[in-house]
Structure 1
Amino acid sequence: MRRPAREHADVVVVGSGFGGAVAAYRFAEAGLRVVVLERGRPYPPGSFPRAPAAMARNLWDPSEGLYGLFDLWSFGGLGAAVSSGLGGGSLIYANVLLRKPERWFVKESPLPGGGYEHWPVTRADLDPHYDAVERMLKPQRYPLGQPPYDTTAKTLAMREAAGRLGLDFELPPLAVAFAPEPGGHPAPGLPIPDPEYGNLHGLPRTTCRLRGECDLGCNDGAKNSLDHTYLSAARHAGADLRTLHEVRWLAPAPGGGYAVSYVVHEPREDRRRVNTRRLPQHTITCDRLVLAAGTLGTTYLLLTCRSEFPGLSPMLGARFSGNGDLLTLVTDARDGAGRHRSLEGSRGPVITSAVRVPDAADSGRGDRRGFLVEDAGYPPFAEWLGEFAGVRGQVRRAGRFVLHRIGALLSHSPRTRINAELAALLGDGHLSDGSLGLLGMGRDIPDGVMRLRRGYLDVDWTTATSMPYFTTMRAVMRDMARVLRAGYRDSPLWLARKVITVHPLGGAPMGRHPAEGVVDEYGEVFGHPGLYVLDGACVPGPVGVNPSLTIAALSDRACEHVLESAPRTAARHAGVTSGLSFTEEMRGHVMPGSADPEEGERLGRANEHPLAVHLTITAGDVERFVADAGHEASVAGWVTCPVLGGGRLRVADGSFNLFVAGEDPARRRMLYRLHFTGDGDAPLTLTGFKDVHDDPGADMWSDTSTLYVRILRGHTRPADDAEAEVVAAGIIRIHLRDFLHQLTTFRTWGPDGAGGLVRFGRLFLGELWDAYHDLATGARVP
């Protein structure tokens, strides 16, 4: 069904990652009307790219015709890899669901350069919500003691290294189905039953086949990612999940709540470039707005729209952390006799185990910041890339193969079987088979700052202040390589002292007051009730372990707080309201410098200064619209007026009042107010009225189709109009052809959409009858 350009929801959730998916489910389950706006595509099992041609398009940049899964960023001090798709980061994460250690919820922890890392929540606060998230995501530990999992070489090597170094080793909970149900018998490729809320993809899923492809998207559906769990449950509860909907602007809505503007992407197979700035913008209003577009996405939106939110904390953009992420490589492992040791990095899920190095907060001694080291597996094709990376070995083997073949040709050798020569060409595979990635994460220093630089997101963060942390982590990783009789390699980025994070955090951190954070302990933005940040951006410092579970638990806690403390009227009325919208086009002329609409039209026509508007008028609740004396609806659309600015000038905010009574009981007015931006980003307001009253003659059509317009400087409210500078004035009208088209644009939704249209029609015709009944009876008011 075609949706109105502006509509209303109880809750709009921007993004569908760990914070957004939990919020969508909790609010929908409570009976609220929830709309989720996700910029990326859905990815059912079997749809994740693997072939080179598809992988080359598996990146996110709509302006270049790319609508893929991965969104990669390069900042001055680090890089970042995040996701774009229904399910957010859960589509590409490595499934680890660890709780933040209790003593890592630090209080008043000093930071270099001033300030403190302070967590206003505790482990005890989050434990019930950790429990709730785990019940939904159903984690299982890697079944190392059972065949065929008991010979997983990388997991055994991690356990051995931890034991020899005296470090804690564990098999962390993973959001992966090794058995069809937790506690069941594990085996690869078994069918996974659907939960009672079903699965939004409607495709079968099977248990993990141990192919190391978690970070590329699981084509078996073995990952209990958010699309298979929270989002499927949210949709079952009535949430409206909209993919390829990218949010561009946020602002408080007149009368309360928030307005969200977004564009809808339409991917093309030809990778054609798109001027995304010209995509039509749509608007939805809501009582509560949840920002969960990820650390980078949410912070960017708030920075971009900062002018719309007066009093926003000066901490916006602060407390950025990469969660201590560091990737290194163990190479050429050997056994006790010096022979090749297989680490089999491509077998199993990406991560199966974790080694923990304690924090000073754990012991109360020293100043070491704690961390984890986890095995970082990879898909089999990465092993081929690794083998080909050994260029000298490849050239040597290729040279031998060519020489053998030339010798065979010259000697007319009768030996036609060449299997041994081909095996020698391929090599023994020891380079890749004896290697394993090590992924470290922990409590780095959250002193990064996110800001806009010429309209683009930038992050000012370096490894310098966190260098003692990284030095300790690299030393432990070297020790692990040493006890495995293996080589050790840093990431090539480390040469420039840069890292790449897959867990960016901060930017809109929690705090006890606006001087300390952007949001409170429940993620609500200080000074802006009903606006929430419920993703990695709200985290006030590194989680230290894989942060997904903590982000989800914070979101669950916030939603529970809202639902328990807020009035439940919205829930009681959710799903019982009906809405209506229609589109209206008017055209005419204006004259700059004129303050009188009739004079402005005459001069504007003579000087060829056209003005046109294309508006979608939406009554999100028809019952309220009809009952309210102001009969106010929201307006979205655009203004075109070459003398004020080229192209379509988007209406950032608008209102429409139908048949407002004045002092004269025989007159009604239809009122329009449109905020838009002209040349040089100058804010302008179009105010207009239709004067509906009974004059001699048949003037009903003229009254209801003629809009007297003034353009004012600034984004004004009615009380400001008298003092505002008049930029231009004129008249625009609905032409008969446009009116006939308008009749086809009425759209309704809700349980009684048809009834809403009838009530709207009765109001419209009833007001016309009150204004023109003397015309029908032949009488005249003296």
Structure 2
Amino acid sequence: MSDTSSLRPSSGGRLSRRGFIAGTGAAVVLGGTAPARASAAAGPIADGAHVPVLVIGTGYGGAVAALRLAQAGVDVHMVEMGMAWDTPGPDGKIFCNTREPDYRSYWLRTRTKAPLNYFLGFPIDRDIPRHTGVLDAEEFAGITVYQGRGVGGGSLVNGGMAVTPKRENFASVLPTVNAAEMYDVYYPRANAALGVGSVDPAWFESTPYYQYARVGRKHAQRSGFPFVFVPDVYDWDHMKQEEAGTVPKSALAAEILYGNNHGKKSLQKTYLAQARATGRVAISPLHRVTSVAPAGSGRYAVTIEQLGTSGAVTATKTVTAGRVFFAAGSVGTSKLLVKLKATGALPNLNGEVGKGWGDNGNVMCGRANHLWDPTGAQQSAIPCAGIDNWTAGGAFAEVAPLPTGIETFASFYLSITRNPHRAEFTWNAAAGRVDLSWQTAWKQPSIDMAKTIFDRINSKEGTIYRTDLFGVYKIWGDHLTYHPLGGAVLGRATDNYGRLSGHPGLYVIDGALIPGNTTVNPFVTITALAERNIERIIATDL
């Protein structure tokens, strides 16, 4: 699926203002004298502090903004609702295993809520201690949205599939953005900084850990579908060493849903590591922003709750910032902006805030294979391939692992589809919360598009759908999304570079900018768009 141009080095020859500033070491000062340089080890942000730039969230967009601002000489403080995830637990590991969820697994839940929550017809969720765990299963009417919680955001919990959309599909993703710039400059820049690579085809053919993907390839090709390798941010050499037994197993030990302890190149190892190394970026984990409001002289007052690991508020702080970047993820950013507009904290936000939200067309299913097509008891938790029927049927299906540790004879898939439905976040004043208007019935177009692949494969192979993975006699995982997008759409809630309407100095720089669908896994597009936007903001606003 990846355009080959996305794998080229970033084009050179142009010295941007950012590059000039970073190269000369000159500092960009926002709103007064230069403050003391930030430090990654400075500790939590203090009540009453003033920072030139506050970034809300540490996911893809926020990490890009922090790094590029720091390289331009700007001091940045990032606040993150989740934990730092830098301290091992009692078992010596930072993250728990997918097959054995514990207190580290879920964000403030007392029972797990696994995306695949049945097996052989039996519920598999279990009770856990309430803790600020790494995966949030946030429930709205009609849909559960899975999000990463911690320094690194969604990069902590996703499968790392780093896909650049096909160029011919880009206009449907971001119609107001220059595609040539994205494919010549910003996608290559994002792919390089994220550390994107592809599985060694020869190793793929020989390892038992991708037998499930080879079975998926055979079935796809026999039904006439293109089967494609998909780039990822996993360290593929590390995975080979995992198989050889020379390093601890990580992807090959089912580490994915609740974090990966070794091989995955999360943002902690890429953008955020580079940002910290500048000495200009500080991060406050377990800090949740509840309000942003004008404070005079072009600054903003930001109210922040500090959390304990039980979720209790341990302190409330007010800081001021010269500029604020909303990077709390599509849901987090959208919910906060909708609340701030409705309650009068940011009254000049326009009526597009909260609109244009979609699920990237996510829908899941499993197929029951014949006994002569085992998918393997050993399965890498990192997907590396997919089935492309986007042009003909509006669906791209990731051939996903089912790392139960036993032979299941099952092929499992996460599909991304061209679902047209868009929901809206609205403020529920009576309940004091933000609601989402998504309806489960809106998943039907996604099911229909996925069926253009799997009905044909089942017919060709003489197989059936599994009905024991999402409930009792239920085929489709139509209750969830891993890929929330939209809610503060580029060119509608913001200008064409993420500046929020009506409030100079406020920016959106995450997946909330993308109107509901990217045709593939979205984080490379989120990263590339952030690279584009922050370059313009540094050049023109600072």
Fold similarity call, TM over 0.5? yes
SS in 1 for 2:198: coil
Where structure 2 has 5 or more consecutive residues not aligned to the other structure, the ranges are 1-41, 111-128
SS in 2 for 1:504: coil
Q: In the TM superposition, what whole-angstrom CA distance separates every residue of 1:506-558 from its partner, at most 9, and x where no partner exists?
A: 111112xxxxx111221111222221111111112311200010011111111
SS in 2 for 1:146: helix
Map of 1:304 onto structure 2: 339
Q: In the TM superposition, what whole-angstrom CA distance separates every residue of 1:696-753 from its partner, at most 9, and x where no partner exists?
A: xxxxxxxxxxxxxxxxxxxxxxxxxxxxxxxxxxxxxxxxxxxxxxxxxxxxxxxxxx
Counterparts of 2:174 and 2:382, CA distance in 1: 32
After TM superposition, list the pairs within 5 Å mapping 1:338-737 onto structure 2.
339-344=371-376, 346-359=378-391, 370-379=394-403, 382-383=404-405, 432-453=407-428, 454-464=431-441, 467-489=444-466, 492=470, 498-511=478-491, 517-567=492-542
Map of 2:168 onto structure 1: 103
Match of 1:173 among 212, 221, 231: 231
- Whether the aligned pair in 2 keeps the contact of 1:371 and 1:545 (CA below 8 Å) is no
Q: In the TM superposition, what whole-angstrom CA distance separates every residue of 1:230-253 from its partner, at most 9, and x where no partner exists?
A: 111110012001111111111122
Match of 1:161 among 198, 215, 219: 219
Per-residue deviation, 1:455 = 1.8
Confirm or deny that 1:225 pairs with 2:266.
yes
2:317 is matched by which residue type in structure 1?
Answer: H
SS in 2 for 1:290: strand
Counterparts of 2:409 and 2:101, CA distance in 1: 29
Q: In the TM superposition, what whole-angstrom CA distance separates every residue of 1:242-267 from its partner, at most 9, and x where no partner exists?
A: 11111111112211032211121232
Match of 1:50 among 68, 75, 97: 97
SS in 1 for 2:203: coil
- What is the TM-score when the length of structure 1 is the normalising length? 0.56
Per-residue deviation, 1:179 = 1.7
Match of 2:242 among 177, 188, 212: 188
SS in 2 for 1:105: helix
Q: In the TM superposition, what whole-angstrom CA distance separates every residue of 1:561-617 from its partner, at most 9, and x where no partner exists?
A: 1122234xxxxxxxxxxxxxxxxxxxxxxxxxxxxxxxxxxxxxxxxxxxxxxxxxx
Counterparts of 1:50 and 1:95, CA distance in 2: 17
Distance 1:137 1:497, change over 3 A: closer
2:437 is matched by which residue type in structure 1?
Answer: D
Per-residue deviation, 1:300 = 1.1
1:492 is matched by which residue type in structure 2?
Answer: F
Counterparts of 1:124 and 1:83, CA distance in 2: 31
Counterparts of 1:52 and 1:377, CA distance in 2: 13
Confirm or deny that 1:330 pairs with 2:307.
no
Per-residue deviation, 1:105 = 3.0
Distance 1:155 1:65, change over 3 A: closer
Distance 1:190 1:283, change over 3 A: farther
> Which structure has more RCO (C-alpha within 8 Å, separation ≥ 6)?
2
Per-residue deviation, 1:15 = 0.5
Per-residue deviation, 1:486 = 3.5
SS in 2 for 1:67: coil
SS in 2 for 1:55: coil
- Whether the aligned pair in 2 keeps the contact of 1:345 and 1:376 (CA below 8 Å) is no
- Whether the aligned pair in 2 keeps the contact of 1:463 and 1:497 (CA below 8 Å) is no
Counterparts of 2:285 and 2:326, CA distance in 1: 16
Confirm or deny that 1:70 pairs with 2:48.
no
Counterparts of 2:476 and 2:201, CA distance in 1: 38
SS in 1 for 2:193: helix
SS in 2 for 1:289: strand
Distance 1:227 1:482, change over 3 A: farther
- Whether the aligned pair in 1 keeps the contact of 2:484 and 2:516 (CA below 8 Å) is no
The number of residue pairs the alignment matches comes to 467
SS in 2 for 1:537: helix
Counterparts of 1:476 and 1:561, CA distance in 2: 41
Confirm or deny that 1:283 pairs with 2:318.
yes
Per-residue deviation, 1:140 = 1.7
Counterparts of 1:345 and 1:24, CA distance in 2: 42
Q: In the TM superposition, what whole-angstrom CA distance separates every residue of 1:405-452 from its partner, at most 9, and x where no partner exists?
A: xxxxxxxxxxxxxxxxxxxxxxxx5xx431132110122124211123
Counterparts of 1:500 and 1:240, CA distance in 2: 34
Q: Pick the structure with greater CA Rg.
A: 1
Per-residue deviation, 1:134 = 1.2
Distance 1:69 1:133, change over 3 A: same
Confirm or deny that 1:321 pairs with 2:358.
yes
Distance 1:482 1:208, change over 3 A: farther
Distance 1:228 1:149, change over 3 A: farther
Distance 1:548 1:207, change over 3 A: farther
Map of 1:240 onto structure 2: 282
Counterparts of 1:20 and 1:147, CA distance in 2: 34
Counterparts of 2:269 and 2:108, CA distance in 1: 26
Counterparts of 1:459 and 1:483, CA distance in 2: 40
Confirm or deny that 1:125 pairs with 2:159.
no
Distance 1:463 1:104, change over 3 A: farther
- Whether the aligned pair in 1 keeps the contact of 2:104 and 2:258 (CA below 8 Å) is no
**RMSD across aligned positions (CA):** 2.9
1:312 is matched by which residue type in structure 2?
Answer: L
Map of 1:624 onto structure 2: none
Where structure 1 has 5 or more consecutive residues not aligned to the other structure, the ranges are 108-116, 193-204, 361-367, 384-428, 512-516, 568-782
SS in 1 for 2:538: helix
Counterparts of 2:397 and 2:46, CA distance in 1: 50
Counterparts of 2:178 and 2:457, CA distance in 1: 33
After TM superposition, list the pairs within 5 Å mapping 1:194-205 onto structure 2.
none
Distance 1:259 1:553, change over 3 A: same
Per-residue deviation, 1:485 = 4.4
Distance 1:462 1:359, change over 3 A: farther
- Whether the aligned pair in 2 keeps the contact of 1:17 and 1:226 (CA below 8 Å) is yes
Counterparts of 1:262 and 1:288, CA distance in 2: 16
Counterparts of 2:451 and 2:501, CA distance in 1: 40
1:120 is matched by which residue type in structure 2?
Answer: T
Confirm or deny that 1:146 pairs with 2:124.
no
- Whether the aligned pair in 2 keeps the contact of 1:137 and 1:229 (CA below 8 Å) is yes
Distance 1:550 1:345, change over 3 A: farther
Counterparts of 2:140 and 2:417, CA distance in 1: 21
- Whether the aligned pair in 2 keeps the contact of 1:505 and 1:542 (CA below 8 Å) is yes
- Whether the aligned pair in 2 keeps the contact of 1:14 and 1:290 (CA below 8 Å) is yes
- Whether the aligned pair in 2 keeps the contact of 1:445 and 1:466 (CA below 8 Å) is no
Match of 1:90 among 150, 155, 172: 155
Distance 1:352 1:345, change over 3 A: farther
Counterparts of 1:478 and 1:548, CA distance in 2: 29
- Whether the aligned pair in 1 keeps the contact of 2:64 and 2:530 (CA below 8 Å) is yes
- What is the TM-score when the length of structure 2 is the normalising length? 0.79
Distance 1:545 1:345, change over 3 A: farther
Per-residue deviation, 1:188 = 2.7
Per-residue deviation, 1:327 = 0.9
Counterparts of 2:299 and 2:224, CA distance in 1: 55
